[in-house]
Structure 1
Amino acid sequence: MLPNFTVTPAAAKFLRRIVRFSGLPSGAGVRLCVSSGGCSGYDAELSAAADVQSGDEATEINGLRLFLPAESRLLLDGVTIDFVDTPERCGLAFNKGDQGLGVAASAREDAGESSVSRIDASAIGRGRHPREAS
């Protein structure tokens, strides 16, 4: 069962760019793994993926394909995923009601898996490829 969660337009734009710059074919999406742990109580990893993996469920939000493992589906219920860009931090933020979960998502690079290992956030929304950003 898919969770009831929200992805803000800014977060969707960020995630679409990860897929776009991954070099994966059309129809690819983002695999979002949220788990208990870390200093804030939650950890999150994301990677561009060509298709859903065994045990994942796929959902589409405004043209963005998200692949969610079972634990992620449980933890994302009632959460709003946003993209923040402040002097203190840049990346995805996961909020439940008025309470921030303190999760900053990181892109993952696994051997043999096509994923995004680094995104230069300064290029997002400015029409430049990350490699062209200074």
Structure 2
Amino acid sequence: MILPTLTVTAAAQKFISRMVRFSEHPTGGFRLTVSAGGCSGYNAEFTVEPAAQAGDGELLVNGVKVFLPAESRLMLDGVTIDFADTPTRSGLTFINPNAAACGCSTSGDAAAPPAQATVSVSSITRMSSASAGH
């Protein structure tokens, strides 16, 4: 199984670690599902799971298991995962140096930074065992 080469900043490591530590599965892992979409190139969802699902790859990030489905592994290769906590947004941010900057804005800059996507902390939902199919 090929795992992506990705960078996880200290801020993102801290967020991932806290999500797992304070979940109902503190010995489990952080499952990150990334798909194409949105202006910045990524839509992402995450949950804390007791174990990897069939087909998931597993990375160890500062001692915490991160489970990545196959599609996510492909999309995250070369990406930096960061965490932003500002008055206007809070969540994981994905920085892909290989993606083109978004061209949907008329105020775009030719020297725009690499594409970024943010997953809001407020979008986190806790899945019950019954709805998770366990």
**TM tier relative to shorter chain:** 0.7 to 0.9
Q: C-alpha distance in 1, partners of 2:9/2:131?
A: 25
Q: Which residue of 2 aligns with 1:90?
A: 90
Secondary structure in 2 matching 1:22: coil
Q: Which residue of 2 aligns with 1:126?
A: none
Identical-pair percentage: 51
TM-score normalised over the length of structure 2: 0.76
Q: How many residues align?
A: 114
TM-score normalised over the length of structure 1: 0.76
CA RMSD of aligned residues (A): 2.1
Q: C-alpha distance in 1, partners of 2:23/2:65?
A: 14
Shift of 1:112: 1.9
Gaps in structure 1 of 5+ consecutive residues? 116-134
Structure number with greater Rg is: 2
Asked if 1 retains the 8 angstrom alpha-carbon contact of 2:40 and 2:115, the reply is: no
In structure 2, the CA distance between the partners of 1:92 and 1:25, relative to structure 1 (3 Å rule), is: closer
- Superimposed CA distance per residue, residues 7-59 of structure 1 (whole angstroms, 9 cap, x where no aligned partner): 11110110111111112142x11000001123433210011011110010111
1:104 aligns with 2:105: no
Asked if 2 retains the 8 angstrom alpha-carbon contact of 1:36 and 1:42, the reply is: yes
Gaps in structure 2 of 5+ consecutive residues? 98-112
Q: Which residue of 1 aligns with 2:104?
A: none
In structure 2, the CA distance between the partners of 1:64 and 1:113, relative to structure 1 (3 Å rule), is: farther
